[in-house]
Structure 1
Amino acid sequence: MTRRILVTGGSGFIGTNLVQHYVDLGCEVLNLDVMPPRNPHHAGHWQQIDILDLDRLRAATQAFQPELMFHMAARTDLAGSSVADYRANTEGVANVVDVARELAALRGVVFASSMLVCELGYLPRDEFDFRPTTPYGESKVLGEGIVRREAAGAIPWVIARPTSVWGPWFDVPYRSFFNAVARGLYLHPYGVRVRRSYGFVYNAVFILSKLAENVEHDAAGRVFYVADYEPVELRAWAEKIRRAMNAPRIRDVPLALLRVLARAGDALKRLGISNPPLSSFRLRNLLTEAVYDLEQTRALCGELPVGVDEAISITVEWMRNH
């Protein structure tokens, strides 16, 4: 069994769960991140390293000599005005490839990309069919290109594109969604059914671990979406969350009202409030169906360990304690 696991961005949401997964397996785990761990129990696994600092990144990886790497570190918000604001997603990727090529014991690297290499709801024809609509998405397209050009023939690699992932240690936007349901503030557009490929974080970690196990073989040089295999219907998912929380009933309201509230949220953003409950951008996302083809992920990784009802129960219990 692989014993030394390096996670860049292991203080982030998915990274925190990835670190815990391998700690639970008894592995030696190193988290390289500019931010301290979300989980205070991970403090002993953390080194404060910026992936843009090539010399310190090289020194840390050479000292640790990992057998597997997960490159999760990234700037993930959508507030940047240009690709230049997302150097971590381009130069940072190049730095990780650079140091990985020098690691004698390394079996391979799982590089985290994003579903937003394409417009939300757009189903790409193949892994090279990109249609980003944000500077963040553009930066992830460039990052994938760096992996393909600079890692090819040098290290085994696989690219993972997580979709909308939720669960313990999450933050905006999905913790906000759970909180809104809990307080009876979630309003659903009347008569609208939207299906989404969401992913519970324990299942996402399971998929990432399977990709790592196969990075030298069936997964090598390929791209996999990371989500639960069966999409959720948003209204039904919200209702399951409501019941698990014993929350007030969900109100179905006319779409016109939600558009008014979204415009009010836009105005709040212009006044400097960064995270209003609703905005035109969030409403558009809420109304966009996005179901991805996960058959090749299922074929490689097998069935997922946690169903949606259990996942909601786990998440609600975690929220009560955090």
Structure 2
Amino acid sequence: MSERLLVTGGSGFIGTEVVALALAKGLAVRNLDVAEPREPSHKSLWRRLDIRDGDGLRREIAAFDPHRILHLASDIDVSLPSLDRFTTTIAGTANLLAAAKDLPGLRRFVHISTQFVVTPGVRPQGERHYQPYTPYGAAKAETERLVWRAGLSVPWHILRPTIIWGPHHPSFAREIFRHMRAGRYLHPASRLPILRSYGYVTNTAEQMLGFALLPPDATQDRVFYLGDENLDYARWADAFSMGLAGRPARRVPVPALHLLGRAGDVAKSLGLPSPIDSGRAFRMTTPSRIDLAPTLALVGPPRISFENGVRKTLAWLEEVYQPMASVLAQKASATTE
């Protein structure tokens, strides 16, 4: 009999990859998500459910009786302004943990958090060290506390993805990649490498699934970071800028970038759009290197290289931007007629 894997948030950026990989391994999969899957072949596995509905969640989970749970569901908007707005993230996690305690066949529970439960540039001092700098990070830190306090009787893990990128990213195409394509993206001109931990989406999904399928005695550690490697931010940015605009990313002095960030804060406070704010300027200029060795030792090295991931992502971006270019060309033609 196939092992049964329950995935919350299996219609999303990473969740879709997890579902595809699990099916390829022969697992029986159930996806609980408010959003319909983008892959037609995944629709029969999907149940539309808001995990804030505790009673509905219990019914769905009891009916499926999973052996493994991989919890990705969270609030989509990571820019929500206050902790109390992250109801799917916090209340949904509490509901799932309560339901999981009643499952007789459960073998492992995996909760997906974020590296931003600790401020970039701060080295975590143990598995339960929290120092978030945004409401999103604070919300995810609260979910980690819920997992620690849940008293689960089965092995469990908290996984903290780093900077995850690749095709179908929910915001990169309309934000950073769009600005790169137009030549508007500004990269910090730093004399020293700005090392950051990155993970290609398929590799990250494989890591998540690897943890979900670990044997019972694989490790006593609870918290792991997800990613492929630590890269100089300039290498990542230049790879995409070359692919999208045919030239390396434009450099700007770090102090100027911080000034632009503060100006963006003012613009946003007035309800105006801005491609940068002080938070983004801080992240762009602060190294956030993570030791990924414990993760890679357990679930193996990444399968897709950085270069191959860039090629796959650029091919997807070509599909995204081509219809937009056609629409703009049609508008321009109509204007000149």
Tell me if both proteins adopt one fold, taking TM over 0.5 as the criterion.
Answer: yes
Identity over the aligned pairs, expressed in percent? 36
Matched residue, 1:267: 266
SS at 2:271 equivalent: coil
Instruction: Supply the distance in 2 between the matched residues of 1:180 and 1:41 (Cα, whole angstroms).
Output: 34
Contact conserved, 2:166 with 2:200, CA < 8 A, in 1?
yes
SS at 2:175 equivalent: helix
Deviation sequence 1:264-286 (CA, Å, 0-9, x none): 43233223246x32222211110
Bigger radius of gyration: 2
Correspondence for 2:291 among 284, 293, 308? 293
Matched residue, 1:128: 128
Instruction: Supply the distance in 2 between the matched residues of 1:16 and 1:31 (Cα, whole angstroms).
Output: 9
Instruction: Supply the distance in 1 between the matched residues of 2:287 and 2:265 (Cα, whole angstroms).
Output: 22
Report the Cα offset of residue 232 of structure 1.
1.1
Are positions 1:240 and 2:239 aligned together? yes
Matched residue, 1:159: 158
Instruction: Supply the distance in 1 between the matched residues of 2:243 and 2:172 (Cα, whole angstroms).
Output: 19
Report the Cα offset of residue 39 of structure 1.
3.9
Backbone CA RMSD of aligned residues? 2.2
Q: Rate the CA distance shift 1:225–1:72 in 2: closer, same or farther, 3 A.
A: same
Q: Rate the CA distance shift 1:245–1:219 in 2: closer, same or farther, 3 A.
A: farther
Instruction: Supply the distance in 2 between the matched residues of 1:48 and 1:127 (Cα, whole angstroms).
Output: 34
Matched residue, 2:252: 253
Report the Cα offset of residue 178 of structure 1.
2.5
Q: Rate the CA distance shift 1:313–1:127 in 2: closer, same or farther, 3 A.
A: same
Report the Cα offset of residue 175 of structure 1.
6.0
Q: Rate the CA distance shift 1:124–1:257 in 2: closer, same or farther, 3 A.
A: closer
Contact conserved, 1:160 with 1:226, CA < 8 A, in 2?
yes
SS at 1:151 equivalent: coil
Q: Rate the CA distance shift 1:238–1:29 in 2: closer, same or farther, 3 A.
A: same
Matched residue, 2:79: 79
Deviation sequence 1:164-203 (CA, Å, 0-9, x none): 1111221224762223222322222234531101111111
Report the Cα offset of residue 209 of structure 1.
1.5
Structure 1-normalised TM-score? 0.90
Contact conserved, 1:54 with 1:95, CA < 8 A, in 2?
yes
Instruction: Supply the distance in 1 between the matched residues of 2:178 and 2:41 (Cα, whole angstroms).
Output: 25
SS at 1:197 equivalent: strand
Are positions 1:141 and 2:133 aligned together? no
Instruction: Supply the distance in 1 between the matched residues of 2:60 and 2:93 (Cα, whole angstroms).
Output: 16
1:179-258 equivalences under 5 Å are 179-192=178-191, 193-214=193-214, 216-219=216-219, 222-228=222-228, 230-245=229-244, 247-258=246-257
Matched residue, 2:111: 111
Instruction: Supply the distance in 1 between the matched residues of 2:312 and 2:21 (Cα, whole angstroms).
Output: 15
SS at 2:86 equivalent: helix
Aligned length in residues: 319
Q: Rate the CA distance shift 1:219–1:91 in 2: closer, same or farther, 3 A.
A: farther
Instruction: Supply the distance in 1 between the matched residues of 2:238 and 2:252 (Cα, whole angstroms).
Output: 15
Correspondence for 2:278 among 265, 269, 280? 280
Are positions 1:27 and 2:27 aligned together? yes
Matched residue, 1:304: 302
Are positions 1:44 and 2:44 aligned together? yes
Contact conserved, 1:156 with 1:221, CA < 8 A, in 2?
no
Instruction: Supply the distance in 1 between the matched residues of 2:9 and 2:44 (Cα, whole angstroms).
Output: 15
Matched residue, 2:324: none
Instruction: Supply the distance in 2 between the matched residues of 1:169 and 1:39 (Cα, whole angstroms).
Output: 12
SS at 2:318 equivalent: helix
Instruction: Supply the distance in 2 between the matched residues of 1:145 and 1:105 (Cα, whole angstroms).
Output: 24
Report the Cα offset of residue 241 of structure 1.
1.8
Q: Rate the CA distance shift 1:255–1:82 in 2: closer, same or farther, 3 A.
A: closer
SS at 1:66 equivalent: coil
